[in-house]
């Protein structure tokens, strides 16, 4: 693709030779001939100055750092430009995530080794990979892509445009909305961790994943004991996250790697939970709240705040307390030195 055409696609300002051709997006420090690099953060400034890319996409703050003779496209939103460029130059990735956008509707494509129950319903343009099992009364919407060795349980509903990577397990009664993306090894709908004196409690509830949710690899989302475990539209869940039975995650919330939400925990819309943080059962993390990595949430947190530590508290108060303790330690050390003969 010529740089001139890319600039027109992005609505950016071209500076330099627009006839050069780029074929892929690459990291600035690894780019070579026919590659286009992107810089919209100051931490990439040194790599931009030394890049061998054929062309670069930059925001206005970095124009002066572009190597002499290298064409650049100046854009207002670097991340949005990267997104559009990846979709344009890497259609194979787009096909994996949104297959309906790169080919027309067709009959379902089912691998010869897949096992699809006669009472399952598959929409147009569905792809079913090798060794997939789809049980009775499952409903698969149009343009769904199911990778190798996935298991789709009885009565599961999967919405249009959803992609399941290889070895995803979706157990009976679970509901996935449109355009959901699920990473390899994830299990959706396993029974929750509920026991009493008589043994493990039955879990007749279900899991509901709303539209546009991203779920990484090796995530476990347990079904509710009663009612639903629900993940709201547009939420982002990183690898190795555990959602206990009856958890509710609001729209647009972000759960980073190794986060654990105990049964009944609630994370409201737009909240961000840092890596390895835990939320105790029945606690609520308020709308738009931010919880730092490795924090332990043992009580409900108000909306919009920033929290850290174990137990999690307002970050400013915690930092002030840590500073006070440090001053006490320093003062005690100085006093001991004065008292030493």
In angstroms, the CA 62 to CA 34 distance is: 21
Rounded to an integer, what is the distance from CA 337 to the centroid of its chain?
53
Please say whether the beta carbons of 250 and 233 come within 8 A.
no
**Which tokens sit at 47?**
């790599």
Relative to beta strand 199-200, strand 195-196 is: antiparallel
Please say whether the beta carbons of 235 and 215 come within 8 A.
no
The residue behind tokens 């070895």 is 167
| Positions marked catalytic | 245
Three state DSSP letters for the chain: CEHHHHHHHHCCEEECCCCCECCEECCCCCCCCCEEEEECCHHHHHHHHHCCCCEEEECHHHHHHCCCCCCEEECCCHHHHHHHHHHHHCHHHHHHHCHHHCCCCCCCEECCCCEECCCCEECCCCEECCCCEECCCCEECCCCEECCCCEECCCCEECCCCEECCCCEECCCCEECCCCEECCCCEEEECCCCEECCEECCCCCEEEECCCCEECCCCEEECCCCCEEEECCCCEECCCCEECCCCEECCCCEECCCCEECCCCEECCCCEECCCCEECCCCEECCCCEECCCCEECCCECCCCEEECCCCEEHHHHHHHHHHHHHHHHHHHHHHHHHCC
């Amino acid at each position: 693709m010529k740089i001139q055409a890319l600039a027109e696609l992005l609505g950016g300002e071209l500076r330099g030779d627009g006839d050069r051709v780029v074929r892929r997006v690459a990291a600035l420090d690894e780019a070579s001939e026919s590659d286009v690099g992107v810089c919209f953060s100051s931490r990439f400034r040194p790599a931009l100055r030394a890049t061998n890319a054929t062309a670069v996409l930059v925001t206005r703050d970095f124009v002066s750092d572009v190597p002499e003779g290298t064409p650049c496209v100046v854009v207002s939103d670097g991340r949005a430009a990267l997104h559009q460029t990846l979709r344009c130059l890497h259609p194979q990735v787009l096909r994996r995530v949104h297959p309906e956008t790169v080919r027309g509707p067709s009959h379902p494509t089912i691998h010869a080794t897949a096992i699809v129950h006669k009472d399952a319903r598959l929409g147009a343009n569905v792809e079913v990979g090798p060794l997939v099992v789809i049980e009775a009364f499952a409903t698969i919407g149009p343009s769904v892509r199911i990778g190798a060795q996935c298991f789709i349980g009885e009565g599961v509903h999967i919405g249009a445009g959803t992609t399941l990577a290889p070895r995803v397990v979706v157990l009976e009664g679970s509901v996935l909305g449109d355009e959901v993306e699920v990473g390899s090894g994830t299990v959706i709908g396993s029974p929750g961790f509920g026991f009493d004196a008589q043994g493990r409690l039955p879990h007749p509830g279900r899991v509901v994943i709303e539209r546009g949710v991203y779920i990484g690899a090796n995530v476990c989302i347990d079904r509710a004991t009663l009612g639903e475990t629900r993940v709201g539209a547009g939420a982002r869940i990183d690898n190795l996250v555990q959602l206990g039975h009856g958890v509710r995650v609001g729209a647009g919330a972000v759960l980073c790697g190794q986060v654990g939400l105990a049964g009944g925990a609630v994370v409201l819309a737009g909240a961000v939970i840092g890596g390895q943080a835990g939320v105790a059962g029945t606690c609520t993390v308020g709308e738009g709240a931010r919880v730092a990595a490795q924090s332990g949430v043992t009580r409900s947190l108000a909306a919009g705040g920033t929290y850290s530590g174990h137990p999690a508290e307002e970050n400013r108060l915690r930092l002030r307390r840590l500073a006070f303790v440090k001053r006490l330690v320093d003062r005690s050390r100085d006093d001991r030195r004065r008292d030493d003969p």
